[in-house]
Structure 1
Amino acid sequence: MRPQAPEGPLKPTSTHPETDTGTAGIDAALHRALERMLTDRYTCRQFRPDPVPREVVGELLRLAQRTPSWCNTQPWHVHLTEGAATDRLRTRLMAHVRSSPASPDFPFPAQYTGAYRERRRECGRRLYDSLGIGKEDREARLRQLLRNFELFDAPHVAVVTTEADLGVYGAVDCGLYIGTFLLAAQSLGLAAAPQAALASYSDVLRDHFGVPPGRRVVAGIAFGYADHDHPVNSFRTSREDPRNATTWHSD
């Protein structure tokens, strides 16, 4: 008999997870905290200029470092900016993007088809609708695309690199690191934007930060404090029903 996936979130009530079993064994407070972080987190596309205190950034990095990795290799290394260093990177990226072709260290998707294309389009529609940008307004759409390279005015960016010799699995581990970083930021009252767009100009990032030849750029993460009054931060993306992303196998 094929098991049925749950149709909604669990409702744990236990305060003694060490002695209970099944659903009742779930730590209710921990479950609610994680669910809230996952639900409330979003990609911030407009930041306030306020820098994040060093001690808060340090705690963010400490939490992110707890990310699991294959054989505990921890292949990530982060180049992190603040103050004038963030502005210098912004300026250099904008100058390069306007005059040079993309040069990612890892191939970008060849194409988006089917459900992937539809989800991507839905995200784009919600983004442009939040800003009042029409479908035919190519100039405004290009301006919004270039906001990626202005880091959405964030006071900080973290550029995540991996060891080239570890191949795709090193990059997978770095993806896990980015996910942990985003949740850690959320737990600290920070906003963040994971940015594959920055990796499209990996050659610039490697040169700018002096990245050793044996390492590859995976992605960037702009972070800081969200500008909650900006309309671009008002929209949210949907998620597929997990039953459509799962195939159960049993007796």
Structure 2
Amino acid sequence: MYSSGPEKLSATTRHDNDFEVVRRLLDERYSCRAFRPGPVPRDAIEKILVTAQRTASWCNSQSWHVTITEGEGTERLMRTLYEHASNEAPQEPDFAFPREYKGVYLDRRRETGFQLYSALGIGRGDKAAYSQQALENFRCFGAPHVAIITTDEALGIYGAIDCGCYVSNFLLAAHASGVATVPQAALSSYAKVVRRELNLGADRRMVCAISFGYADEGHPANSYRTNRAPLEEAVQWISA
């Protein structure tokens, strides 16, 4: 039986409160592009991981595997990736990047880029500065930790989808813990390099990375927030 009266009202209030917490976390979270150097304590990281592990997945396969760097492990990975990117080494992601951005997708991509460049004082059309800023991806924006998200090659695209769900929950759990994050597809450009540097098996397919730590809140790269499309651009209702 369903509860009625005060008990039902209490349950409704609890759900409303829970919803507002989730909404607030989603509204507040942003991709951090400047970190303080200090590490996140291991127990804080484990709390985030335990929470994200509750992510739903296809057949409960829990398709993700997470490799986390710290200390010299992070520095070594950054040095190697930055060297490859600086030398314009061929990119070989495990999952193909978008063939092209067009229409509203291109508009949104450009808007985000211009927001970042404007915050950093980079003028429009300054391609040299654009390129230099793009290389900061491979320094992981100074983050003390990087989480490499991989899936088993046999699981294919559905393993990658499960990993995407995991990434979203990792980001929210981290934000709720006061830890800043930035999910990065850029590091997947050199998936083979990452596998070699971190001694990952040949059967692992890299989906993305999450750089994380404590935000340098005074840095201009963290001063703006991206927009979200209105529902009418993203949702279609079928009533009959």
Task: Report if the CA contact (8 A) 1:78-1:158 is conserved.
Answer: yes
1:114 has 2:140 as partner: no
Partner of 1:95: 83
TM-score of the superposed pair, with normalisation by structure 1: 0.90
Which segments of structure 1 move beyond 4 Å, counting only runs of 4 or more?
none
Q: What percentage of aligned pairs have identical amino acids?
A: 49
- Paired residue type of 1:208: E
Higher deviation after alignment, 150-159 or 135-144: 135-144
The C-alpha deviation readout for 1:176-230, integer Å capped at 9, x for no partner, is 0000000000010010000000001111011111111111000000000000000
1:139, distance to aligned residue in structure 2 (A): 1.6
- 1:56–1:241 Cα change, 3 Å: same
Task: Report if the CA contact (8 A) 2:86-2:135 is conserved.
Answer: no
Partner of 1:78: 66
Write the distance in 2 (CA, Å) between the matches of 1:163 and 1:46. 31
More helix by percentage: 2
- Paired residue type of 1:195: Q
- Number of corresponding residues: 235
The C-alpha deviation readout for 1:114-138, integer Å capped at 9, x for no partner, is 0000000000110100001011222
Write the distance in 1 (CA, Å) between the matches of 2:6 and 2:131. 51
| Structure 1: runs of 5+ lacking an equivalent | 1-15
Write the distance in 2 (CA, Å) between the matches of 1:161 and 1:85. 18
1:148, distance to aligned residue in structure 2 (A): 0.3
- 1:26–1:116 Cα change, 3 Å: farther
Q: Secondary structure at the match of 2:73?
A: helix
1:247, distance to aligned residue in structure 2 (A): 1.1
Higher deviation after alignment, 35-44 or 138-147: 138-147
Q: What root-mean-square deviation, in Å, do the aligned CA atoms of Structure 1 and Structure 2 show?
A: 1.8
Write the distance in 2 (CA, Å) between the matches of 1:26 and 1:245. 29
Write the distance in 2 (CA, Å) between the matches of 1:226 and 1:35. 21
How do residues 126-205 of structure 1 correspond to structure 2 at under 5 angstroms? Answer: 126-205=115-194
1:17, distance to aligned residue in structure 2 (A): 9.9
Q: Secondary structure at the match of 1:51?
A: coil
Write the distance in 2 (CA, Å) between the matches of 1:249 and 1:25. 31
TM-score of the superposed pair, with normalisation by structure 2: 0.94
- Paired residue type of 1:47: F
